[in-house]
Structure 1
């Protein structure tokens, strides 16, 4: 089935209208007509081959919201007309210990990404959500309960939402916990909203005094300008968890020394260049930990969507037509968005 999309043919080429082929739905497949697709930093890194290994043509997009328009004969969980989402994963081995535990993002044989992942379908790699429709195994399709008027702002939950929800849940964030969120961008603004909704005392860290009021409005109880040593010292040894969403190389010591004994600094941003090696004494003398976290499995992503629907949580977005995607990428590099771009797929024509 020929489908209109926006994609790039090389790292140094702009995204442009292209025609792609989608398979006919198999027995366990769900066909989704896409209404909205969020724009993630990973899209930019992949299209421009900044991480290497990009296969072209590249059609990014893994924050997908749309409507079911066809289902395979064995599909039990979805029907035509359902509002659904597709996130970062469209496949995994389903055999390893991680998959058995519902942690497909850690599949020991490699998960299949929604774009740039291996597939038997032409052209041999997956093509993502900057397109009019997608066909996905029902196991990797998610139910969305938010009202129709919020659906565009739901799209970024499929990556930015689960990337922050998963570690907050894993490290038992809730009432009585003091949680720091480093960086108030696409990921960080969701981290603040979700940690606040979980009942934690939330401290937002930003390099910009200008983001103080924004962070408070998002749900932060306090805001710390990380370049101000006095503000940082005032919180030394007080955090149960700090979630670091910044994808640029920076010193981790400034945050690890703010942790309580047994506190954890969790990294979810992958920098282009490695962080400086941390001060090991900071960790040893307080039994502190530095950890990482990668999106979430399908069951946890569904849990996150339901949690956000119950709490009225969506992303703060700026809607764009597909024709402005390269401009949006350039603005994203400059952090010139509050806080996530979303493509209106009706403009993919």
Structure 2
């Protein structure tokens, strides 16, 4: 089907300036005075009007035939033109497909060339590495052969030395019995002399290993005991009352110190709700407080009096604390810190932000204003 857009080569998105330019170009070529035909000029004028009216998608040939183009010659020419347009459209589709195939083939060719270049580089690296290893192997073989030749050259010399020593030694059967007895007596004398010289060393070693007590007892045997010192007593003042018999012991009344009773430390309730402030009451005291829980299990708590408090979960990995966190006490698996100043110490810090970062933990501020208002009402 040939539409009016097909005649002018436009579509519904073509601007008006482009449409007018195409119409002038085709009219200058299809006008009867320029060698064209009246039917083609009428078809062009009608296509331009239809496109301006927004009806460019309608079938052009059928519309012209209905309006009175009754001549068989014009109808045959229109059918021929329609066939030519369809043939050109098929050729255009075939060329588009061929272009897509060529692009895919070119892309695959480029990919293969890139892979081949990478393989070539790897092959060069392997060749260089192979040459280096071959040189190392040749050097090791050369050193091994040199060491083998050196050992082989010195081996005959060693054998000849052993034979010469064996030739110079005299067998024991050729020594006279008198000389043998003298040699044996010299050996026994040397043995006794060595034993006598080693005896003091053995005694000293035994005393050293026994410790300090044997040395002290040995030294005490040679030292005389010193005489006991004389004790002289001088009375500076005498009170007759001191000589009077003492009265029975008076009963000593025990002094009982008043035991300091420590106030109970408030104990918070543990919940699974994360990131939301709410009003609670301590487990062991009838006092209200507000608190919020982080994802890591720590809490920020505010009671009627005092500062905001940070309940640090002890199961977490210990890190460097901020300077405004002051330790107060231990509570179950928490380490309780006061926040007297700095970030998180004022209600305005929590009310003016969506969340605060305390000791690398994010505490959202959802519902803080409502919970703080309820706490103030309960604390009055």
Give the TM-score normalised by the residue count of structure 1: 0.16
Structure having greater relative contact order (Cα 8 Å, sep ≥ 6):
1
Bigger radius of gyration:
2
Whichever structure has more strand as a proportion of its residues is 1
